[in-house]
Amino acid sequence: MRSLMSISLFRWRIISQSRFPIPHGWVNISPVPPSTVRKGDDMRFTDILYAKADNIARITINRPEVYNAIRGKTTDEMVVALQDAAEDESMRVVVIAGSGPNAFCSGRDQAEDRSSPEYSGESEADFTDLIRQMPKPVIAMVDGFAIGSGNILAYTCDFTVASTRSTFGQTGPRVGSPAAGFGVGYLATVIGQKKAREMWMLTQRYTGQQAADMGLANSVVPHDQLEAEVLRYCNIIKNNSPVILQLEKITFNENTEYMEKIPSPTTRYAPNYIETDEAEERRLAFIERRP
């Protein structure tokens, strides 16, 4: 059993180390020796909280003042936490959540300075790829808004457990965000072509119950039962064979692997869109709450 787990982890290490270098200045943080990580230890993070207990690793986006919108620094930190969870064989499942009652993740922080060295237009894609390659099940615990990149993050996880006060949706065409490629196409494998196009092209929003009805969420419960429901999933996973779970996850991923090899339409047809006047005007209109 150990040899199979080692093979899977080795495959994950090759992917993560070759494509996702640790940000400058983060020496000796990733991978963090499991013995140094305790519940409540922030590991020098500023945008996330990371805790491990009872064989469960929990990553919490901790920017409630902006509805847990993510920036380059946020995803950099999430990558480090994911790498640690993958390396620690005592961790059997990973939970991703948002801080506070208002949002799981409201998407990319549109107020972030796009000229900043920390800004990375591809960081969300990098991070969601790591979730897919993670050798353990990943659960999105959604309470509040899961919009834009937050929605992609939720449906990329192996399981999505939502509260009844959750809201799912996309905003790309409305705010001038050129989301394209795997993150867009993969949604069709989750909820079907018609609903995926509706969500992406009409930028509509959906309740937690609607998300569950269309297959976007595995289950939906009142917000005061969300923690218990996620723990129920975790306990089932912990009682199952970690080797078989890894093999099943690899199988599911291989079924959609062809999509990862398709070049992003943004790269092919509109590589400089984010620098256009249209993109900037839509971004500013969103920030300033203009129509």
Query: For each of the chain's 291 residues, which pLDDT tens digit applies?
Result: 344 444 444 444 433 443 333 333 322 233 333 333 333 344 589 999 999 999 999 999 999 999 999 988 898 899 899 999 999 999 999 999 999 999 999 988 876 655 555 555 445 667 788 899 899 999 999 999 999 999 999 999 999 999 999 999 998 777 666 666 788 889 999 999 999 999 999 999 999 999 999 999 999 999 999 999 999 999 999 999 999 999 999 999 998 887 776 666 655 555 565 666 665 555 566 565 666
What 3-state class would DSSP assign to 112?
Answer: coil
Whole-prediction pTM value?
0.79
Q: What does the alpha-carbon distance between residue 79 and residue 85 come to, in Å, rounded to a whole number?
A: 10
Residue with tokens 């990943």: 138
Helix axes 2-19, 242-255, angle to 10 degrees: 40
Find out whether 154 and 140 touch, Cβ atoms under 8 Å: yes
Each domain of the chain, given as residue ranges in start order, spans 2-287
Q: What is the layout of strands, in order, in the sheet containing 138-142?
A: 48-53, 56-61, 93-98, 138-142, 159-163, 219-221
pLDDT score of 140: 99
Side-chain half-sphere exposure of 248, counting CA atoms within 13 A: 10
Which CATH class, in words, describes the domain spanning 2-287? alpha beta
